[in-house]
Amino acid sequence: MKQKILTLLISTALAAPAAMATDAGRLLNPHKAEVPVSVGVWKDDKAAMDTFIDELMAKMTLSEKIGQLDLQTSVRDRTGGTVNAEYEKLVRAGRVGGVFNAFEPKFNRTLQQLAVENSRLGIPLLFGYDVIHGHMTMFPQSIGEAASWDPELVKQGARIAAKETAADGVMWTFAPMADITRDPRWGRVSEGAGEDVYLNTVLSVARVEGFQGDDLAAIDTVAATAKHFVGYGLSQAGRDYHTTDVSEHELWTTQMPPFKAMVDAGVATFMTSFNDLNGTPASGSKFLLTDVLRDQWGFEGFVVTDYTAINELVPHGYARDDKHAAEIAFNAGADMDMVGQLYLGYMEELVNEGKVSMDTIDTSVRRILEMKWRLGLFEDPYRYFDEQRAKDTLLAAEHLEASQDAARRSMVLLKNDNQTLPLDLDTLDNIALIGPLADFDSIMIGNWRARGGRSKPIGVKRGLEAAIGDKAELHTTKGASFNFFADAAFAESRADHMVTYADPNDPKLAADIAEAVKIAKQSDVIVLAIGEHQGMSGEAASRVELTLPGNQRELMIELKKLGKPMVGVVFSGRPNDLSWEHENLDAIVHAWYPGTMGGPAVADILLGHANPSGKLPMTFPRSVGQVPIYYNMKNTGRPYYADNPNQRQEHYKSRYDDSPNTPLYAFGHGLSYSEFQYGEMTLSSDTLTLDGELTVSVEITNNGKHAGEEVVQLYTRQMVGSITRPVQELKGFDKVHFDAGETKMVSFTLTADDLAFYRADMSWGSEPGDFQVMVGTASDNVQRLSFKLID
């Protein structure tokens, strides 16, 4: 990815005017820019589309129009999809606009026939599904893909997911999730790209482009959804669905840019978030859904709520009852109601009472019909239901190969003392593979599995067995469990999905550890497959502790006593507290949830068939007590500099008594089997004018024996501003391949636009003054030089 392209992308996203009127009635931004065109990839004949939809809407009754505003979920069981009598009645009456959780060409064709051949006007259904990180072929969980720092790889993953999704009868996905978060307790960390606005923006756009391709009407593309709009990632205490209280500067600086960039990239739909934002639930916020999204950003697609989000305006305390909730959400700009059926139940009454206008109804209905036109559903409502195409596309060999490559390139080498990795099979006779994830194939695909459970993912044991062959003996046992539950009934309900013991005093725990120790004694090296069950991250899966759950620590303590080399492979959907593991293991690889081909990819990394190149997209804390912790914090009036001996003993500084301020692993951290040596950074000038450019260059050499990729990272810091500024801000990165012994010059270009921000008066722009520029291998391992931005 070229730096200039990234610069233009992020500058465009951030330059969106911010100080719009809020629900509290603040003034519109006086610096408002021209409204952009948001439909660059919607290659429709607008005149023909308008004529067709005008004629269709003229025939529609109010009841049929309201039906287009309704999104229902399919019911599935072990034998496939089902539709109950009431559901079928609604479809036949033209009272359902779309269906989600329905897939497979045969079943979806049946549903489409109900709508097209049995309803009065034959308006086709829109089929949606949560395709978050793959459909049948699963790629690394989104946070893992983000660790690749490779927009093209992320785009390719979404492209393949779109091909499989479209072949399986679905033309709309509820992704990408662009929520930025700094709290790893929040389970939905796994669905996003981490803590940084720049990286998140670039990867969100890459996913939109991958899903939607060059033309929404193409048979192998799907409509993407920008979610969750907005602020969901800042849920207080890391607890899902919780409230958010976000300053205006924070909202526009860190939360809005990825969504604005997706509008400019032509994203088809938006999804509202569950949270309230500064007292107004997002699903009922006219400020967000109309003033910003429509009037300011020029979005022309439609807005769907999250699951029953309109109904939830009542427990939020924002609506008196369901009818009032429907009125608020619709008038705010929520076009389609997901599952709640409040529009179905109350909209006609609201129109008759004058609380919702027919013009508003017609506008929302038109947006939904336009998207159906753009997807080609009016031309051929059955175009996505080709069973042969599904057989030819799902789990195609090239898709599995791409999945394995993505998994390899997403894994992060956190620690590697004494070059423990890669493992040398010429010197090893016996390898112990121990841990609750050692022989657990299905866990490789993590949460939001789409149809990935049917892809027969390959776990660590099978991956290593295939890679090792007869070169060494592999001995496997689980040795520990994931978790203990205080609630035995809850533990029993999860029994089919989790290796667990409801009672931490269960004697089987000691027996499992004893078996692991026995196997480890016979081995030359211990590989630990450790981490969280996939059910411990994702929606409604927040945690108050970030250490590895269950009795995994007890297992590792006993194995440590053997004095053998220990390699940890961590699987999870979030940053964990790995402080004990860092102190006691010889090497650690964070594999996230790597996807269908996760096991072979782990084997590739452990055995040196691939060189790890992933970098952390989110800070790893030393303990949960540091949370929230992130790289681009602001300084305080009493900053504590641990590397300054004159301040180390000072008490009245911003610090902890029982922990360093620094994280365990910083944002951007990631080691390699290569040895990258950075030369001295240079600047083309020590000044930058408002209309000029500054080139930042550094020579890098791979002094190691292995070819590898390095993510070179560019940061800046504004020393003084009209508001306080972060100590670092990512402004660019370049993933560069180096052969062993190769030297390359890596350069970045900075302009005044890259230094722009929302100033004290909420205007957008840069401020002349002193800056630092940083280049390095991680946010905490950089070189620094100074320059001035001048008028």
Are both 199 and 85 inside the same structural domain? yes
Kindly state the percentage of the chain with pLDDT values over 70: 91
In a domain, 652, yes or no: no
Render pLDDT for 34-85 as a digit per residue (tens, 0 to 9).
Answer: 333 444 567 778 999 999 999 999 999 999 999 999 999 986 544 455 667 8
Q: Which of 24-38, 644-658, 660-674 is predicted most confidently? A: 660-674
d(CA 334, CA 54): 22
Are both 171 and 303 inside the same structural domain? yes
DSSP code for 32: P
Q: What is the DSSP string of 436-496?
A: TTTT-GGGGG-SS-TTGGGG----HHHHHHHHHTTSSEEEEE--S-SB--S-HHHHHHTTT
Which residue in the list 179, 306, 512, 586 is annotated as catalytic? 306
CA dihedral 518, 520, 522, 524 (to 10 degrees): -170
pLDDT over 50 at 413, yes or no? yes
At 655 the three-state DSSP class reads coil
Give residue 651's pLDDT band: very low, low, confident or very high (50, 70, 90). Answer: confident
In a domain, 17, yes or no: no
pLDDT over 70 at 415, yes or no? yes
In a domain, 768, yes or no: yes
In a domain, 547, yes or no: yes
d(CA 258, CA 197): 7
Please report, for residues 672, 678, 700, 706, 741, the alpha-carbon distance to residue 703 in angstroms, rounded to integers and kept in the order given.
Answer: 12, 10, 9, 9, 5
Are both 330 and 467 inside the same structural domain? no
306 catalytic residue (yes or no): yes
Are both 503 and 383 inside the same structural domain? no
Q: Look at residue 25 in the predicted model and tell me its pLDDT.
A: 27
What's this model's pTM, rounded to 2 decimal places?
0.94
Are both 467 and 365 inside the same structural domain? no
Boundary (domain end) residue, out of 606, 626, 644: 606
Give residue 504's pLDDT band: very low, low, confident or very high (50, 70, 90). Answer: confident
Boundary (domain end) residue, out of 327, 359, 389: 389
Render pLDDT for 262-291 as a digit per residue (tens, 0 to 9).
Answer: 999 999 999 999 999 999 999 999 999 999
Q: Look at residue 650 in the predicted model and tell me its pLDDT.
A: 75
Q: Look at residue 563 in the predicted model and tell me its pLDDT.
A: 98
Give residue 488's pLDDT band: very low, low, confident or very high (50, 70, 90). Answer: low
Give residue 682's pLDDT band: very low, low, confident or very high (50, 70, 90). Answer: very high
d(CA 160, CA 450): 14
Q: Look at residue 273 in the predicted model and tell me its pLDDT.
A: 98
Please report, for residues 149, 405, 495, 614, 747, the alpha-carbon distance to residue 734 in angstroms, rounded to integers and kept in the order given.
Answer: 8, 19, 45, 13, 9
pLDDT over 60 at 11, yes or no? no
pLDDT over 80 at 210, yes or no? yes
Render pLDDT for 324-381 as a digit per residue (tens, 0 to 9).
Answer: 999 999 999 999 999 999 999 999 999 999 999 999 999 999 999 999 999 999 999 9
d(CA 170, CA 187): 26
In a domain, 653, yes or no: no
Give residue 768's pLDDT band: very low, low, confident or very high (50, 70, 90). Answer: very high
- Which CATH number characterizes residue 684's domain? 2.60.40.10
At 161 the three-state DSSP class reads helix
In a domain, 136, yes or no: yes
Are both 419 and 353 inside the same structural domain? no
In a domain, 15, yes or no: no
- Which CATH number characterizes residue 602's domain? 3.40.50.1700
Q: Look at residue 719 in the predicted model and tell me its pLDDT.
A: 98
Are both 364 and 462 inside the same structural domain? no
Nearest to 252 by CA among 287, 224, 276: 287
Nearest to 407 by CA among 157, 636, 195, 179: 157
What is the longest distance spanned by two Cα atoms in the chain? 81
Are both 436 and 367 inside the same structural domain? no
pLDDT over 60 at 179, yes or no? yes
Q: Look at residue 587 in the predicted model and tell me its pLDDT.
A: 99
Are both 262 and 369 inside the same structural domain? yes
Boundary (domain end) residue, out of 606, 627, 649: 606
Structural domain including 464 reads: 410-606
Q: Look at residue 501 in the predicted model and tell me its pLDDT.
A: 61
Are both 81 and 198 inside the same structural domain? yes
Are both 373 and 459 inside the same structural domain? no
Structure tokens at 671: 């080691």
Are both 351 and 430 inside the same structural domain? no
Q: Look at residue 506 in the predicted model and tell me its pLDDT.
A: 84
In a domain, 76, yes or no: yes
Q: How many domains does the chain have?
A: 3
- Which CATH number characterizes residue 350's domain? 3.20.20.300
